[in-house]
Chains A and B, each alone.
Chain A
Amino acid sequence: MGKYLIRRFLQLVVVSFVISVLVFMLVHLLPGDPTTQILGANDTAANRAILLKQLGLNLPLWHQYTIWLNAAFNGNLGTSYLNHESVTHILATGAPVSLELIILSQILAFAVAIPLALVVSRKPNRALDNISTTTTFGLLALPPFVVAPILVAVFAVGLGWFPATGYVPFNQSPATNIHDMILPAVAITAGSIAVYFRLLRSDLISTLQQDFITMARSKGLSNRRIMWRHAFRPSSFSLLAAAGINIGSLIAGTFVVEALFAMPGIGLALVQAVEQRDYLVVQGISLVVAIAFVVIQFIIDFIFTIVDPRVVRE
């Protein structure tokens, strides 16, 4: 198993490296540069040339790349051109917000999808199953940018139960923090619920047809025990894999709700940085986000080796 993990780790490293190159190149392909934004009224050709030299942006690309990469290894991802915060600082303040949002939303998604799938897979294609399945398609048809305004209109403006915007850090007040996050978290959960439910349901149905389930019945085990101890385990694998990919893609995908609900997360920061050609911020955040995705996959794989005994036994 050690060899397998080492191999995967090496892949992680290689992929991260390639991504860093791609990110860098892509960002620098954008027309325009930060000078326009920084100089503002002082935007003349001469000033621009001076600024470019100052920022080191007149060096050949590969040189800029190595400088950047070097600094990154030392933990220095650069500073924002516009507000002079360090990129690491931006990440450090933004990441907890986005992460919390994601975690909250996934907990919600699992809490709904798993019990529903367990109940429904026992009697597939009956009333409850059909209703759940059809409703799920509805969930898939409600993207965040549609749901969020509606949620705000109904629950924030209309009923006043939740705030429409605002963020309170966790250590200040845990209760308010979570309370304020509920609407944005719900807004991004719809798709996850649908995906997890469909996947788990279909997997459970197919597992329940296996011989070892009949065998377990023939041993006199209760239905509940069979569901939880025998059926759920093998079926949860695809759920795990899907969660890995889902969470990975959510990492940078929270920007819609972050913008709508004014949550200071990294999604929002990233989008703003791109629009303003804040290179270093874009590079830094993109790199971290991409690596986070790869790391999550790695962790999921690792969990697999623990949980599924059939994966590479040496």
Chain B
Amino acid sequence: MAMRRGRPAGTLEFKDVGTHEGPLLVVDDVHTSFRTARGTVRAVDGVSFEVHEGKTLGIVGESGSGKTVLSRSIMGLLPPRDVIRSGTVHFAGHDMTAMEDKELRQVWGAELSMIFQDPMTALNPVKRIGVQICESLRLHLDMDKKEAVSTAVELLRSVGIPSPEERVRWYPFQLSGGMRQRVMIAIALACAPRLVLADEPTTGLDVTVQAQILDLLADLQRERHMAVILVTHDLGVVASRADDIIVMYAGRIVERAPTRTLFSDTKMPYTQALMDSIPRLADPSGARLLAIGGRPPDLINPPQGCRFAPRCPYAQDKCRESDPPLRTVGSPDHLFACWFPLVDGKSTAPSVPVSLSASSSSAAPVAGASDPDPTAEADA
């Protein structure tokens, strides 16, 4: 569905889709910390990556890994006070981190938009969904009311909402969870942005609905040559839908690779643990859920050395003493931060105290687990 591109003149210029040279989004050494009563929480502690037009990046991590803060940092939607930021975010050649609110507002919704996790709270409960869609359209694309409404109806149709002409006048509470999320997608895509940040778009939805939503997103993305960043705790979600995957832990990137490579040549023990904790249909019934022991580290006083060391079954003294840098070996696409990366699923650490599968402890938050897409290629 082609979108009109008659934008009112702002002070920012964006080249047409497809003509942009270089990466669409460049995140460079971004740090985001929050000042709290207990200390300064380093939620995002040095993250850099790039996203190209039309590609999908998956960002995976447990609760507390900093992924949501990262997505908000990219957008620039952080609270005004008690936040310390450094690093830059370049979007389509513009430095977002140097922009004032006024300029950011030209970008938000129009070129860069966000899909929120919980559609029940992210949609204004007392406004009709049509109105919430039309707002963006009229603001950024300068449509008049009639045009906006008919565009909104078309948008609803394209996200798979039946009888959109009627439902455009509905209120959020009248829709089911899956439909609300579709509405969110419609709103996010209304002005045909170049990049969409989807922050846990399927958490809380039924499994079948999850797949539908993700498929929908993928279809729309292809149509519009849009870039997507999928932020999730669920490896299964990104397994077949992302071009590249970043694994975050304790505010940092611990591994990054194109999807296939990540699954076939996993280097970080943490990533491996995430994969192992996904229950499989093929497992015998009654098999124990593999969980990663321990809890995420304290982000106010992170441990010296590798942050995953306290929970890593292969940890050596070197790991506890010094922080492994993010590096590549061999292929430049695959980055990882580990002193003793895995090779063919086995640790290269000198002494291996126990194998990973026996380290399941009861008090651990189960990371990366959910009912996976049965067609995932995650056969490590």
CB distance from A121 to the nearest CB of B (A): 14
CB distance from B183 to the nearest CB of A (A): 11
CB distance from B197 to the nearest CB of A (A): 9
| A233 beta carbon closer than 8 Å to chain B | yes
By a CB distance below 8 angstroms, the chain B residues around A230 are: 124, 127
Within 8 A of B (CB), among A99-137: none
Contact for A212 among B77, B107, B124, B171, CB less than 8 A: B124
A211 and B125 in contact, given A220-B110, A220-B136, A220-B139 (Cβ under 8 angstroms): no
| A222 beta carbon closer than 8 Å to chain B | yes
By a CB distance below 8 angstroms, the chain B residues around A214 are: 77, 116, 122
Contact in complex: B109, A310 (CB < 8 Å): no
Within 8 A of A (CB), among B77-122: 77, 101, 104-110, 113-114, 116, 118, 121-122
Contact in complex: A220, B106 (CB < 8 Å): yes
| A39 beta carbon closer than 8 Å to chain B | no
A218 and B125 in contact, given A211-B116, A211-B118, A310-B173 (Cβ under 8 angstroms): no
By a CB distance below 8 angstroms, the chain B residues around A85 are: none
Interface string of B139-156 (1 = CB under 8 A from A): 110000000000000000
| B29 beta carbon closer than 8 Å to chain A | no
By a CB distance below 8 angstroms, the chain B residues around A212 are: 121-125
| B247 beta carbon closer than 8 Å to chain A | no
A217 and B77 in contact, given A211-B118, A222-B105, A309-B171 (Cβ under 8 angstroms): yes
> CA A313 – CA B175 in complex, angstroms?
13
Contact in complex: B136, A308 (CB < 8 Å): no
Contact for B109 among A210, A218, A234, A313, CB less than 8 A: A218
Contact in complex: B173, A221 (CB < 8 Å): no
Q: How large is the interface on B (under 10, 10 to 19, 20 to 34, 35 or more residues)?
A: 20 to 34
> CA A234 – CA B172 in complex, angstroms?
14
| B195 beta carbon closer than 8 Å to chain A | no
> CA A309 – CA B77 in complex, angstroms?
29
> CA A216 – CA B135 in complex, angstroms?
9
A234 and B105 in contact, given A211-B121, A218-B75, A220-B110 (Cβ under 8 angstroms): no
Interface string of A202-213 (1 = CB under 8 A from B): 000000001110
Interface string of B171-192 (1 = CB under 8 A from A): 1011000000000000100000
CB distance from A233 to the nearest CB of B (A): 5
Contact in complex: B121, A218 (CB < 8 Å): no
| A215 beta carbon closer than 8 Å to chain B | yes
Contact in complex: A219, B126 (CB < 8 Å): no
By a CB distance below 8 angstroms, the chain A residues around B75 are: 218
Contact in complex: B122, A215 (CB < 8 Å): yes
> CA A212 – CA B120 in complex, angstroms?
9
By a CB distance below 8 angstroms, the chain A residues around B135 are: 216, 219, 221
CB distance from A96 to the nearest CB of B (A): 36
Q: How large is the interface on A (under 10, 10 to 19, 20 to 34, 35 or more residues)?
A: 20 to 34
> CA A202 – CA B171 in complex, angstroms?
25
Contact in complex: A217, B108 (CB < 8 Å): yes
Contact in complex: B127, A310 (CB < 8 Å): no
Chain A residue at minimal CB-CB distance from B124: A212
Chain A residue at minimal CB-CB distance from B173: A310
Contact for B123 among A215, A220, A308, CB less than 8 A: A215
> CA A290 – CA B174 in complex, angstroms?
38
Contact in complex: A221, B139 (CB < 8 Å): yes
CB distance from A28 to the nearest CB of B (A): 49
CB distance from B339 to the nearest CB of A (A): 39
A216 and B187 in contact, given A211-B116, A221-B105, A221-B135 (Cβ under 8 angstroms): no
By a CB distance below 8 angstroms, the chain A residues around B101 are: 223
By a CB distance below 8 angstroms, the chain A residues around B108 are: 217-220
Best-buried of B101, B110, B121, B171 by chain A (most CB within 10 Å): B121
A218 and B126 in contact, given A210-B121, A211-B121, A212-B121 (Cβ under 8 angstroms): no
A309 and B126 in contact, given A211-B121, A219-B113 (Cβ under 8 angstroms): yes
> CA A218 – CA B104 in complex, angstroms?
9
CB distance from B219 to the nearest CB of A (A): 23
CB distance from A228 to the nearest CB of B (A): 12
> CA A137 – CA B12 in complex, angstroms?
47
Chain A residue at minimal CB-CB distance from B111: A220
Contact in complex: A234, B136 (CB < 8 Å): no
By a CB distance below 8 angstroms, the chain B residues around A218 are: 75, 77, 108-109, 113-114, 116
Contact in complex: A233, B127 (CB < 8 Å): yes
Within 8 A of B (CB), among A225-239: 230, 233-234
A219 and B121 in contact, given A230-B127, A310-B173 (Cβ under 8 angstroms): no
> CA A223 – CA B104 in complex, angstroms?
12
Within 8 A of A (CB), among B181-238: 187
> CA A230 – CA B126 in complex, angstroms?
9
Chain A residue at minimal CB-CB distance from B108: A220
Closest 9 CB pairs of A and B: A220-B109, A220-B108, A219-B109, A211-B121, A211-B122, A220-B105, A212-B124, A215-B122, A218-B114
Residue numbers of A with Cβ under 8 A of B are 210-212, 214-223, 230, 233-234, 308-310, 313
Given contacts A215-B187, A218-B113, 5 further A-B contacts (CB under 8 A): A219-B135, A220-B110, A233-B127, A309-B125, A309-B171
Residue numbers of B with Cβ under 8 A of A are 75, 77, 101, 104-110, 113-114, 116, 118, 121-127, 135-136, 139-140, 171, 173-174, 187
